[in-house]
Amino acid sequence: MSFDYAPPPPLEETILFEDEHILAVNKPSGLLSVPGRGDHLSDCAEARAKAHDRNARTVHRLDMDTSGILLFGKGAEAHRRLSLLFAERKVEKRYIAWVAGLMPEDDGDIDLPLAVDWPNRPLQKVDMEKGKPSLTCWRVLERREDATLLALTPKTGRTHQLRLHCAAIGHAILGDRFYSDPTVRKRASRLQLHAETLEFHHPMTEEWISLQAPSNLSGPLLAKNQ
């Protein structure tokens, strides 16, 4: 699946937290987390982090279309310990997303197994037989203009989990070019998904770190039937 790549300009103020072991940035929508194939896909959050500190190493990733907190470890040991926290699910994550339609309930869970949709990579699909267990908890923050603002807490970390889970229950994320129909896609100028909060124990000091990234989600821009 090909796409045109026009990364946003570098912004030094995207740094949210930094010490001798950790660098956290607020990645803008439209920027790759790591380099893609080809020189035209070399500009990414990882490259910008390394330009700031050559020891920065990527700990986790966000979709190109998703904005929010991205974490880097400075040096091999910090990277290893941070990666272990993610692998052991000791990192608390919260996303916010504007989804199509008005959610009838105030909170709930989406428990649907996911697998790679091989003929349509990088897309994923719900696969009740061969999919990996995937769980997302959600809570309503606001309802307006036939759209709902959700707080999303992924309990697993599958590729495109939040995007696909929301679409699977009939409430695709506004602006989603992968899992929404053209009407929903056009209701926002970008994917309305933002990694807002990340909390964990510092891998070296054990201090509780609570990071929050300001959001620039625009919400629903167009009426449903436009």
- 171 phi/psi in degrees, rounded to 5: -135, 70
Quick: pLDDT tens for 173-222. 999 999 999 999 999 999 999 999 999 999 999 999 999 999 889 888 75
Average pLDDT of 61-74? Answer: 97
Quick: pLDDT tens for 101-141. 999 999 999 999 999 999 998 899 999 999 999 999 999 99
Quick: pLDDT tens for 10-45. 876 799 999 999 999 999 999 999 998 888 899 999
pTM of the model as a whole: 0.93
Residues 6+ apart with CB under 8 A from 194: 66, 67, 68, 95, 96, 97, 213, 215, 216, 217
In the annotation, is 111 catalytic? Answer: no
Instruction: Return the pLDDT at 218.
Output: 86
The residue from 19, 53, 63, 107 that is catalytic is: 63
Domains with residue ranges and CATH for the chain: 12-212 (3.30.2350.10)
